[in-house]
Amino acid sequence: MTTGTSSVSPPSGGARTGWQHSLSVRLFWLTFAVILLVELIVFIPSATAFRTNWLEDRAQAARIASLSVEASPSRKLSMELSDSLLDLAEVLALTELDGTMRIRLLPAAEPIPKSVVPIDLRQEGYLASVSSTFGTFFAPEGRAVMIVDRGARDDRVIEVIVREAPLKAELWAYGGRILLLSLLVSVAAGGLVFAVLFFLLVRPMRRVTQSVEQFRKDPGDWSGHLSPTRRRDEIGRAQNALADMESAVSESFRQRERLAELGEAVARINHDLRGSLAAAQLVSEGLARSEDPRVKRAAPRLERALERAINLATQTLQYGKTSAPRAELRPCALAMILDEAAEEVLAGRPGIAWTNQVDSRLNVKADADHLHRIASNLIRNAAEAMGEEGEIVATLDDRTLRIRDTGPGLPEEIAETLFKPFGSARKRGGTGLGLAIARDLARAMGCELRLGETGKGGTTFELEFAEAPGWSGEAAAQ
């Protein structure tokens, strides 16, 4: 027996894949990356706020220094005191704007860098603050910043020049602390999320994966199958569905093995039985030539019993084959095949009338042997259903061949399982395989055999051909 194989090859190494392909490891790194991304998103406003606070602190220190200048006589300070205030405020120079007047409150004690970036804290928006913050991270060496903010009095403005290097160094230090904290949080949160996902998702999925791989290797092995779970989420439903599928498929494999063994035994029994029945048939033929009236009356019944027994053994052996014989489709004279089948089946039944209403000029595309066996089975069933007398009529409508009898109809319990193996075996002398074999033969030709109708007025079987019948060459010429 030939079985189908999957066209997909399993990965090398079987179930033992590398750790880098593990779902749990991927979940950990995904969690780690997501938390780092969130920390980066949070870091942007944090760094911006840090930079703004640093600039405001310098501006506040400058305002306090300006008050010292205001408190001095004539708003003038000594060089030593001015330098001291500049050091305390951590600024290079302080200028106050009063209307259109520019008053240098604390002059620079050292040369001011040529590159000075103005920053107006009164009008700077959020996006400009973010842009300036990242600009500070990568600012060139030696650059200065001029902070423009409100003065000690609301009607005045101060301009504070500071070096950008301290701000840049503190921003990098702040970023390093945030990065370290983010890594610690990411590792801790990633580990926690990993543990939760591992027990809730990864471990159940690992069991499902291992069971599927074991099932692929040996579907009939019960040891590696899943057991049902009480979980009602998607994984629980998937595990329960897979467990049911494995049970059903394993049971099917075991049944197939038992049926294969049973089929071999039946084939041997059929072989021996047919040999014994053939010998008995020879004896019955000899008895038929006897002049004894009692023997003459019993011989026909004995012959029919032997024919039924041989037919049962033959059909059982035929159905045990893997599939129906391959159909060779070619134009066939449908009416002639029906007449030959009827003549063969009804030879010993003079009370059964055969009416063939199929036009003899019509050809159907089919396998002549398959079609003969189907017709013989349907006519034989009809004759057995009617008993000693009745009529069998064959008609053709479009693509559908109908064979109707005038028998009592089929019992409801037999009609429901008519085309199943042994489904109609309850009728007297029936094998229960004839219609199942006939349906397989019909499907091998691309046709469909079905029960049309049944009742007290008789039973009709329908054979629908794949293509509409055509006229023979002689009919076409006429």
Length of the chain: 478
Give 462's DSSP letter: E
pLDDT tens-place string over residues 173-199: 998 998 888 888 878 877 787 777 777
Per the model's pLDDT, the better-predicted residue between 129 and 229 turns out to be: 129
Residue 470's closest CA among 329, 372, 333, 328? 333
Residue type, 340: E
Average pLDDT value for residue range 380-392: 89
Instruction: Using pLDDT thresholds of 50, 70 and 90, give the confidence band for residue 444.
Output: confident
DSSP 89-114: HT-SEEEEEETTEEEEEE--SSPPPS
Output the furthest CA–CA distance in the chain (Å, rounded): 164
pLDDT score recorded for residue 172? 93
pTM of the model as a whole: 0.43
Angle in degrees, 0-180, between the axes of helices 165-197 and 126-137, rounded to the nearest 10: 100
| Lookup: tokens for 156 | 């005045």
Q: Does residue 476 register a pLDDT over 60?
A: no
User: Alpha-carbon distance 365 to 375, whole Å?
Assistant: 15
pLDDT tens-place string over residues 291-347: 677 666 666 666 665 665 666 566 566 655 545 567 889 999 999 999 998 988 888
Q: Does residue 430 register a pLDDT over 80?
A: no
Average pLDDT value for residue range 77-89: 76
pLDDT tens-place string over residues 204-261: 777 777 677 666 666 655 555 666 777 777 667 777 777 777 677 766 766 676 666 6
DSSP 404-418: EE-S----HHHHTTT
Decide: 161 and 91 in contact? Cβ < 8 Å. Answer: yes
User: Alpha-carbon distance 433 to 77, whole Å?
Assistant: 122
Average pLDDT value for residue range 432-449: 85
Angle at the Cα of 449 (from 446 to 451), degrees rounded to 5?
Answer: 160
User: Alpha-carbon distance 442 to 169, whole Å?
Assistant: 89
Instruction: Using pLDDT thresholds of 50, 70 and 90, give the confidence band for residue 4.
Output: very low
